[in-house]
């Protein structure tokens, strides 16, 4: 028996197929149009340029670009943030600022923010960040303020700590938790030298930038200051500063590496890596340097405040070009607010990638006060030890004019003192005399 399908069923089948195909084409068309529309909107976005202090292709540049990309992915403004190469060449930065539209946002060392703010070359951010001040350590926030105006917002930075070789201390019978004063540190150095082949501590004595920030930590710790609160008079010529320099030169110098008078921080790191010294005062890179070299020994950190010193800090700040139009300024401020958010601050600890070691290493610290409770420090507990330095820091360049004093008289003079070619009294007097002239604009 044969069966024939009624013709009306064939007609119905063809109609259904046609309708379904039509719907698919319409949906594909809508999806395609929507995608094209989004792409068109993306292409229409103007660029806001962020100049960093590293190459964009470097490990640090790539790390920063990842943070910027995370912002661009949620950015609803008419501007997309683009990152460009930079450095710490002040002359180049000033030239860019004068060109008005070459760069919109800058990452700057705090001392440049002070200098450029003092000369009215940066955007005044006071009203835009009135509610953010409480997020940061008071002394750190003040580094971005000039004459009651906010020119820089803290973003990331470093602070120094007393890093030690756990293996050497264990061999010497030194318990690091007992080192809670400078006298205990000296005693620990003595014990290291008596029980191991290593020297106690790495010191800097060369005519170099490092001798300035290194010794300042002791001067502040002993109760001395560089300038008065108004920044108009040199105050270093005091018994406190003299005692600090004497301690550094004589008490600690007795347990330093043999070449410390001609060494900078670079050589100190070399000696520490080679286990020729048990202690060094460095930032977190003092630890990552050991990690990058195969972790030949365990490291630990003692906050400098635990032994009565003020840690040198180096916050990098976010600043704006002074001639941005209102729309650009609003978009730039929104971006800065993202960079200082908890999410973006935690991303700093993701670190920079090292192709040589196929690993990521933190290179700077986040600077918000409340970041200490972040889960990121469960991964890097030793780095949390550096954060306390932000509360009572040693400021290497307390006022813009100090940079000239430091370069021409302070660092060279300290080197001469360490080499016994100049007395501490004569050094302090010279800094006061020459420094006051510079602060008063006579030089």
Secondary structure (DSSP) of 336-353: HHHHTSHHHHHHHTT-EE
Which helix (DSSP H) or strand (DSSP E) does residue 243 occupy?
A: helix 239-246
What are the residues whose beta carbons fall under 8 Å from the beta carbon of 387, sequence distance 6 or more?
A: 159, 365, 371, 372
- Return the pLDDT at 443: 67
- From first CA to last CA, the distance across the chain in angstroms is 118
Residue 251: strand, helix, or coil: helix
Looking up tokens 């080679």 gives 274
CB-based contact 406:397 (threshold 8 Å): yes
Q: How far apart are CA 351 and CA 354, in angstroms?
A: 9
Query: Which residues of the chain, if any, have pLDDT below 70?
Result: 1-43, 443
Angstrom distance (rounded) from CA 368 to CA 345: 8
Question: In sequence order, what are the residues at sequence separation of 6 or more whose Cβ sits closer than 8 angstroms to the Cβ of residue 256?
Answer: 199, 200, 201, 202, 203, 277
Rounded (10°) angle between helices 209-221 and 239-246: 120
**CATH numbers and ranges of domains, the chain:** 44-158+314-373 (3.40.190.10), 161-312+401-439 (3.40.190.10)
Per-residue pLDDT tens over the stretch 193-206: 999 999 999 999 99
pLDDT for the residue 11: 52
What pTM was computed for the model?
0.88
pLDDT (tens digit, 9 = 90+) per residue, 419-443? 999 999 999 999 999 999 999 987 6
Token pair recorded at residue 18? 């046609």
How many other CB atoms sit within 10 Å of the CB of residue 258? 9
pLDDT of residue 33: 42
pLDDT of residue 100: 73
Separation between Cα atoms, residue 172 and residue 201, nearest integer Å: 14
CA–CA separation, 279 and 174 (whole Å): 12
Q: What is the pLDDT of residue 80?
A: 97
The secondary structure element, H or E, covering residue 6 is none
pLDDT at 263: 98
């Amino acid at each position: 028996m044969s069966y024939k399908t009624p013709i009306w069923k064939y007609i119905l089948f063809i109609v259904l197929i046609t309708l379904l195909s039509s719907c698919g084409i319409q949906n594909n068309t809508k999806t395609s149009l929507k995608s094209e529309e989004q792409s068109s909107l993306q292409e229409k976005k103007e660029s806001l340029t962020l100049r960093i202090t590293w190459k964009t292709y470097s490990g640090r540049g790539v790390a920063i670009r990842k943070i910027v990309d995370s912002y661009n992915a949620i950015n609803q403004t008419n501007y997309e943030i683009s990152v460009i190469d930079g450095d710490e060449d002040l002359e180049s930065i000033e030239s860019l600022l004068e060109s008005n539209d070459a760069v919109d946002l800058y990452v700057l060392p705090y001392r440049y923010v002070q200098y450029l703010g003092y000369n009215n070359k940066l955007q005044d951010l006071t009203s835009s960040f009135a509610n953010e001040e409480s997020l940061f350590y008071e002394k750190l926030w003040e580094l971005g303020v000039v004459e009651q105006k906010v020119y820089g917002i803290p973003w990331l930075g470093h602070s120094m700590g007393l890093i030690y070789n756990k293996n050497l201390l264990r061999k010497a019978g030194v318990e690091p938790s007992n080192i809670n004063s400078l006298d205990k540190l000296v005693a620990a150095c003595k014990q290291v030298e008596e029980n191991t082949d290593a020297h106690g501590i790495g010191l800097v004595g060369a005519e170099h930038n490092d001798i300035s920030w290194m010794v300042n930590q002791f001067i502040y710790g002993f109760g001395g200051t560089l300038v008065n609160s108004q920044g108009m008079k040199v105050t270093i010529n005091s018994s406190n500063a003299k005692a600090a320099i004497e301690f550094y030169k004589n008490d600690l110098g007795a347990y330093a590496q043999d070449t410390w008078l001609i060494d900078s921080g670079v050589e100190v790191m070399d000696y520490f890596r080679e286990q020729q010294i048990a202690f060094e005062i460095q930032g977190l890179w003092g630890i990552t340097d050991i990690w990058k070299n195969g972790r030949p020994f365990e490291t630990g950190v003692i906050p400098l405040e635990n032994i009565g010193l003020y840690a040198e800090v180096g916050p990098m700040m976010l600043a704006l070009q002074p001639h941005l139009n209102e729309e650009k300024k609003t978009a730039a401020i929104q971006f800065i607010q993202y960079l200082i958010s908890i999410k973006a601050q935690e991303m700093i600890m993701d670190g920079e990638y090292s192709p040589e070691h196929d690993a990521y290493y933190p290179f700077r610290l986040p600077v918000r006060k409340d970041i200490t409770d972040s889960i990121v420090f469960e991964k890097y507990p030793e780095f949390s030890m550096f954060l306390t330095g932000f509360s009572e820091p040693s400021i290497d360049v307390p006022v813009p004019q100090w940079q000239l004093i430091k370069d021409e008289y302070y660092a060279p003079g300290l080197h001469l003192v360490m080499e016994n070619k100049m007395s501490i009294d004569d050094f302090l007097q010279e800094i006061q005399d020459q420094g006051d002239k510079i602060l008063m604009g006579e030089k």
